Amino acid sequence: MGKKNVEMGILRLFPTLLYQIDATELIESSLKTLKNIEWTNKSNDASSDKFVLRSLKYISGQFDAKVNLCLETLGYELPMKMTTSWWTRTSPGSVIYRHKHTNCMWSAVFYPYENTSSIIFEKADQPQIDIGFKCTDPQFIPYGKAEIQIKKGTMLIFPSHMFHWTVENDTDKYRYSLAMNFMPHGKVYHGDSSYNYK
């Protein structure tokens, strides 16, 4: 008797979306903003100015366009617009510690250099019973950590509430990245509530 074929399908229900998009054409113009940065001088350093692209409408508009291109899959009624932008600088042997972004919906990080440390994202919807699993594919694991390798010119776009951090900078040079946050732009109506995001 032959073995019976079993029909099986996997529905990825309510997936966490993380987008990678090429933005190499923005490397040169972005790096110009790095020249006169004042740093906070902490171990995982950041620019004192959290609006480094605010006056540069062309560049910020290009990043807005990249984010909105990716988010077309969701069909938002309003476009996203950059609210804050800042440089990070990680010294050799250091890391950016586990954190999430607040007062925003989507966040992004742009990597203008080679040899950038990978970034780890965590989905913490862990059940009370945790027996562990062998799968490491971020498209299948229901919770846990996923490490993303970074390529020069890549922009990562992710939900702001996701915890993330970097692995150690194992080079002898500073590691730079440009971080950004995004909010809807325009008037949002939902049931008996509305708000005009300007």
Q: Is the separation of the CB atoms in 181 and 101 below 8 Å?
A: yes
The predicted model gives 95-103 an average pLDDT of 93
Q: How far is CA 161 from CA 32, 67, 114, 153, in A?
A: 30, 16, 27, 24
Structure-model confidence comparison of residues 197 and 115, the more confident one: 197
Task: Identify the pLDDT of residue 43.
Answer: 60
The predicted model gives 86-112 an average pLDDT of 94
Instruction: Give 17-73 pLDDT, tens digit per residue.
Output: 999 999 999 999 999 999 889 998 766 689 999 999 999 999 999 999 999 999 999
Instruction: Give 114-128 pLDDT, tens digit per residue.
Output: 878 899 999 877 778
**End-to-end Cα distance, the chain:** 68
CA–CA distance, 85 with 54 (Å, rounded to integer):
8
Task: Identify the pLDDT of residue 164.
Answer: 95
Q: What are phi and psi of 27, to 5 degrees?
A: -60, -55
Task: Identify the pLDDT of residue 40.
Answer: 84
The predicted model gives 103-112 an average pLDDT of 96
Reference 34, options 62, 53, 16, 14; nearest CA is 53
Please identify which residue in the block is written with the tokens 């990680």.
90
Does this model's pTM top 0.85? My answer is yes
Task: Identify the pLDDT of residue 115.
Answer: 79
The predicted model gives 147-160 an average pLDDT of 94
Q: Is the separation of the CB atoms in 143 and 72 below 8 Å?
A: no
Strand 106-110 relative to strand 193-197, pairing: unpaired
The predicted model gives 150-155 an average pLDDT of 94
Residues in the chain: 198
